[in-house]
Amino acid sequence: MDNNIYDIWGEALKFSEARRAAIGVCRAEPFLDCLPELAAARTPFVRFSPEERIDPALCLPGCKSVIAAAVPVGRIKPPRPDYPHGEFSLLSALRDYHLTVAEFLEDLAGFLGRRLAFSRKIFVDTGNLPEKEVLYRAGLAARGRSGLALSPEFGSRFNAGVMLTDIDFGDAAANQPPENHGFCASCGLCEKSCPTGAIGERFDPYKCVSYLTQKKGALTEAERAAMGANLYGCDACADVCPLNSRQNGGVIATGEIYPSAEAVEDMTRLDKTAFAERYKERVFFYKGIAHFRRNAEIVLRNIRQV
Ligand code: SF4
Ligand code: SF4
């Protein structure tokens, strides 16, 4: 092992800190201990088999390490207004995190590439590995009762991505045990706040409103009602988590997050050009205008019934 690799990793940590992001690294050994849970879980929007999901070498032959990145978003949401309104989750109100996190990881790859030659693959939600498990192993986050990964620095208000590399980071990549590292206070506030009972002994992703807002096709009447005011995503459990209550990270504009009933009605009539102009860098853009208008119609009906 070249001692220089520890210096390079130290510099990479400083590079990330200067960008307000956090990185960690784990060895690219198959995540064998995850297999039973992945095989038992029904996880939406995943196209890999459980066996494929535990193998870092599947997407980068010769892979030796997996770098995890946590890029924070504003922690604090403004209070909900008292007029009838829809609600964008924090992630859907901001620039698409796939772009933001991939840009950060590309910059990090460029930084490392000026110091050593290596191969890499970058994924933000699109790779085979379970990203939360990479975060846990890299020591960046712990499993929260809410089902969200919790970072000691950012709470759950961060986005994650991974970079597979053929760099041997030696002991810098010592794997963390994937169990809870003690960040979650087990206060139960997330469970109490959840409108659909998705949080319990096990998190049920199919009950989660965030999933319902992303689900394609027709929704049942119960699913439509469960969406409430949520246009895309749901922040109820994240908003109450004490780990998200610190004031660093900033507040974003109310109008972006809580559109009035009139604004939601406008969304139901949005044409393709206006949709692209307004939302082309938002996380839901790839779902298309029909999906967006469907959600706006459901939310409009829900908030007018209250
Ligand atoms: S709200 Fe409490 S129990 Fe839920 S994830 Fe946050 S600290 Fe853990
Ligand atoms: S995102 Fe919303 S529906 Fe999903 S677990 Fe959290 S509070 Fe429940």
DSSP letters, 178-232, are SS--S------HHHHH-TT---SSS--GGG-HHHHHH--SPPPHHHHHHTTTEEE
Question: How many domains does one find in the chain?
Answer: 2
236 Cα: distance to centroid of ligand 1 (angstroms): 12
Q: Which of 151, 154, 183, 187 to mutate to test the pocket of ligand 1 (most atoms within 8 A of CB)?
A: 187
Pocket of ligand 2 contains residue 226 by CB under 6 Å: no
Q: Could you give phi then psi for residue 294, rounded to 5 degrees?
A: -60, -50
C-alpha span between 55 and 43 (Å, rounded): 17
Determine, yes or no, domain membership for 110: yes
Helix (H) or strand (E) holding 160: strand 158-165
Question: Which residue pairs from 106-114 have beta carbons closer than 8 angstroms and sit at least 24 positions apart in sequence?
Answer: 107/19, 108/12, 108/15, 108/16, 108/23, 108/67, 108/69, 108/163, 109/163, 111/11, 111/12, 111/15, 112/8, 112/12, 112/165, 112/167
Same domain, 138 and 222: no
Same domain, 156 and 203: no
Q: For the whole model, what pTM was predicted?
A: 0.89
Boundary (domain end) residue, out of 173, 208, 241: 173
Same domain, 218 and 274: yes
Question: Average pLDDT of 127-136?
Answer: 91
Which residues form the catalytic set? Answer: 125
C-alpha span between 93 and 110 (Å, rounded): 29
Determine, yes or no, domain membership for 84: no
Determine, yes or no, domain membership for 211: yes
Determine, yes or no, domain membership for 184: no
Same domain, 143 and 292: no
78-82, 219-223, 251-255, range with the lowest pLDDT: 251-255
Sign of CA dihedral 72, 78, 79, 82: negative
With 0-12 / 13-18 / 19 or more C-beta atoms within 10 angstroms meaning exposed / middle / buried, residue 175 is middle
Residues lining ligand 1, Cβ inside 6 A: 144-146, 184-190, 240-243
Please report which confidence band the pLDDT of residue 43 belongs to, taking 50, 70 and 90 as the band edges: confident
Same domain, 202 and 107: no
Determine, yes or no, domain membership for 143: yes
Residue 204 has pLDDT above 60, yes or no: yes
pLDDT in tens, 290-303: 999 999 999 999 99
157 Cα: distance to centroid of ligand 2 (angstroms): 14
C-alpha span between 138 and 12 (Å, rounded): 14
Q: The domain containing residue 202 runs over which residues?
A: 189-305
Residue type, 197: G
Ligand 1 atom nearest residue 188's Cα: 3
Same domain, 291 and 165: no
Same domain, 169 and 202: no
40 Cα: distance to centroid of ligand 1 (angstroms): 24
CB 194 within 8 A of CB 237: yes
Which residue is associated with the tokens 């087990």?
Answer: 186
Ligand 2 atom nearest residue 190's Cα: 7
Same domain, 135 and 69: yes
**Most confident stretch, 31-40, 90-99, 108-117, 138-147:** 108-117
Same domain, 8 and 124: yes
Helix (H) or strand (E) holding 92: helix 90-93
Ligand 1 atom nearest residue 199's Cα: 4
Residue type, 224: R
Among protein residues, the one with the nearest Cα to ligand 2's atom 4 is 208
Same domain, 157 and 229: no
Boundary (domain end) residue, out of 115, 141, 173: 173
- Alpha carbon 302 to its chain's center: 26
Boundary (domain end) residue, out of 173, 199, 223: 173
Residue 249 has pLDDT above 60, yes or no: no
Same domain, 99 and 124: yes
Determine, yes or no, domain membership for 237: yes
β-sheet with 65-72: strand ranges across: 22-27, 65-72, 158-165, 120-123
Determine, yes or no, domain membership for 182: no
Residue type, 294: R
Residue 74 has pLDDT above 80, yes or no: no
Task: Tell me what pLDDT residue 252 has.
Answer: 66
pLDDT in tens, 2-12: 559 999 999 99
C-alpha span between 174 and 170 (Å, rounded): 7
Task: Tell me what pLDDT residue 183 has.
Answer: 75
Torsion from C-alpha of 96, 46, 71, 212, nearest 10 degrees: 60
Determine, yes or no, domain membership for 263: yes
Helix (H) or strand (E) holding 23: strand 22-27
Average pLDDT of the chain, as a whole number: 90
Residue 283 has pLDDT above 90, yes or no: yes
Same domain, 111 and 64: yes
Pocket of ligand 2 contains residue 90 by CB under 6 Å: no
Q: 6 versus 179: which is more confidently predicted?
A: 6
